[in-house]
Chains A and B, each alone.
Chain A
Amino acid sequence: MMPSIACASGKGGTGKTTVATNLARIMAYERDTHLVDCDVEGPNAHHFFTLESTQRSPVHVPVPHIDLSHCDLCGVCSDACAFHAISVLADTALVFPELCHGCGVCAYICPRNAITERPRTIGSVLEATCDGMAFTGGSLNPGEPMPPPIIQAAKKTARGRDYIIIDASPGSTCATVEAVHGTNFCLLVTEPTPFGLSDLRMAVGMCRRLDVPYGVVINRSDLGDGRVEDYCKEEAIPVLGRFPSDRCIADVYARGALIVDHNSAWEDRFRGLLMALDRLLKREVNHG
């Protein structure tokens, strides 16, 4: 059993990366831990560690290449492409690589076998170690629209460790789904405001649809109202941590350091979060 825990949130800026990085640090004291940054549109977890033996590899997706000497411009490929990535004109056929999902329909369907697929780089994956902890960070090249292949590539590097912590992107649709899908538990980091509550509801809906067990961390718990607490109570959602607003954490975060390395009260809070998480994971294993 190799538990993987995703840190996610509907709303951005609630503290996902803070929770993921500090939790990973506490966990790595005693367990074989791998932190995977799957927020490939805004990868920030690497700022908080001194990474060693780093290795960056490109991530490719297959895109069609049309051999115009074989193509008779019949247009079957462009009709079949669900993503409008091929346009066949009177005298040529054009490929729009940014729209291509790499499904392979065009190459399969072309009656003249004029289409082959070629790799195209859309981003990269950085692998490294840090004080015994393994680290992977995915990064989508600016201008590229599709994060999922990078997220898949980043997650694939994290096999063989005892514990995997995944830092997901904000939201509740495709990129977040890709990061949370298949994990054993999802920590939903929220804040006690109407924005936080609304986006938490969407993130909960996503976890239920993906059948991933989840719990909530309420960040800046003293800066808002009780509606998030009420919602969690009504829905019987476990609240694993309540973190107060603290100027100290903002300062440490801003300069890219870990709060658990600098402040014993915060180290205790994250140890408490890890214990609460262990209890829930154990329950999931026994019942799931």
Chain B
Amino acid sequence: MVEELVILSGKGGTGKTSLAASFAVMGEREWILADCDVDAPNLQYLLEPTIEEQHPFSSSAIARIDKDRCDECGLCRTHCRFDSIDSTFEVDDVGCEGCGLCSYVCPRSAIAMQPRLSGYWFRSQTRGGIMLHAQLGFGEGNSGKLVARVKEEARQIAQASPLPRVLVDGPPGVGCPVIAALSGATAALLVAEPSISALGDLERIAEVCAHFQVPAGICINRFDAQPVYSDHIASLAKRLALPILGRIPYDEQFTWALLEGRTIVEGDTNRAGKAVRALWQETVTTLL
């Protein structure tokens, strides 16, 4: 059975990736890493992967109209619910969901569904161990399916290890890619920050974890920047019966470390680095 820890936040920019990279470095290569923010895959800037494998990712289809056969009857345009065929019978490849309805309704069999390339996934080596990551094409859909693929590859590699563990850096939000990142996970670490916006988003992501029955814990990042809202987070955690696993102080060192391509737990010891170390200990003992 693979143990899987997913880092999520609801709101973006609360520090998921900085924490995931720090955990990866402290995990002593015992964890298989999965960067599941395929819209904005940033773990690579802290862990400097050497790519060993690259695979194209194609999971859906796109409509292609054979202009020689098409008599421009317009039935496909009437039926398409995604407004993805224009008046010149060109398919909008951003809008097309690949459902295939147009190909069924076309009386002249002029429409075929072709596989579409949505992006790539990679297997790499990093100083934190093996990392699976991916990149979607500009403006492509299917991020949930690509996340599922990255996780599946990570799990398969982990299974061969005596201590099968996967650490997932998740995407922001609560929709499809988040649900894919959360699916089948052992536990989730929710990274909150003290602001009214992050508070609302924390409640939403906690609700999603409860919906999918994944146990969760909370970490408050930059807790000292807005102590009042840190107290609000603590009250929310109490109401939701979720443990607070760590409090990390505001520290510009996070940004400076990022500019140097290292994590906060590498290099000089500082307050924030110590708090991240303590958070990691607490997360592993409490959630797993």
Residues of A in contact with B (beta carbons under 8 Å apart)? 10-14, 17, 41-44, 47, 80, 82-83, 101-105, 108-109, 140, 142-147, 169-177, 181, 193-195, 198-199, 202, 205-206, 208-210, 223-225, 250-251, 253-256
Contacts and interface: CB of A to CB of B under 8 A. Distances in A.
Interface string B1-15: 000000001111110
Interface of B: 9-14, 17, 38-40, 42, 45, 60-61, 79, 81-82, 94-95, 97-101, 104-105, 136, 138-144, 171-176, 178-179, 194-197, 200-201, 204-205, 207-208, 211-212, 225-226, 228-229, 252, 255, 258-259, 261
Nearest to A201: B138
A108 B226 CA distance: 55
B196 A255 contact: yes
A287 B82 CA distance: 29
Contacts of B205: 142
Given A42-B197, A108-B79, A195-B45, 7 more contacts: A11-B12, A43-B200, A82-B99, A104-B81, A173-B142, A208-B138, A255-B228
B240 to A, nearest CB: 13
30 contacts: A10-B40, A12-B9, A13-B12, A42-B173, A42-B200, A82-B100, A102-B81, A103-B101, A104-B79, A104-B99, A108-B79, A108-B105, A140-B175, A143-B207, A143-B211, A145-B175, A145-B179, A171-B172, A172-B136, A174-B142, A174-B143, A174-B176, A177-B141, A181-B94, A195-B40, A223-B252, A225-B259, A250-B225, A254-B225, A255-B228
Contact of A172 (B10, B40, B211): B40
Given A142-B174, A193-B258, A195-B42, A173 B194 contact: no
Contact of B42 (A80, A102, A169, A199): A199
Contacts, number: 196
A229 to B, nearest CB: 14
Contacts of B82: 103
B261 to A, nearest CB: 7
Given A105-B99, A146-B175, A193-B259, A47 B200 contact: yes
Contacts of A198: 40, 42, 45
Given A47-B197, A108-B105, A142-B208, A199 B40 contact: yes
A206 B139 contact: yes
A80 B100 contact: yes
A12 B99 contact: no
A107 to B, nearest CB: 10
A199 B171 CA distance: 13
Q: Quick one: which of A41, A170, A193 has the most chain B CB within 10 A?
A: A41
Nearest to A171: B39
Given A103-B81, A194-B261, A17 B94 contact: no
B255 A82 contact: no
Main secondary structure of the interface of B (DSSP, over half): loop
A17 to B, nearest CB: 7
B219 to A, nearest CB: 15
A243 to B, nearest CB: 15
B73 to A, nearest CB: 16
A163 B124 CA distance: 47
A250 B100 CA distance: 48
Nearest to A225: B259
A175 B197 contact: no
A195 B197 CA distance: 21
A142 B139 contact: no
B196 A256 contact: yes
A42 B100 contact: no
A255 B228 CA distance: 9
B229 A254 contact: yes
A235 B58 CA distance: 30
A44 B200 contact: yes
Contact of A142 (B100, B143, B176, B204): B204
B48 to A, nearest CB: 11
B49 to A, nearest CB: 13
B259 A13 contact: no
A224 to B, nearest CB: 6
Nearest to A209: B139
Contact of A42 (B97, B104, B172, B176): B172
Contacts of B11: 12-13, 42, 44
B258 A82 contact: no
Contacts of A42: 10-12, 172-174, 197, 200-201, 204
A201 B10 CA distance: 23
Contact of A254 (B10, B141, B194, B208): B194
Contacts of A44: 11, 196-197, 200-201
A108 B174 contact: no
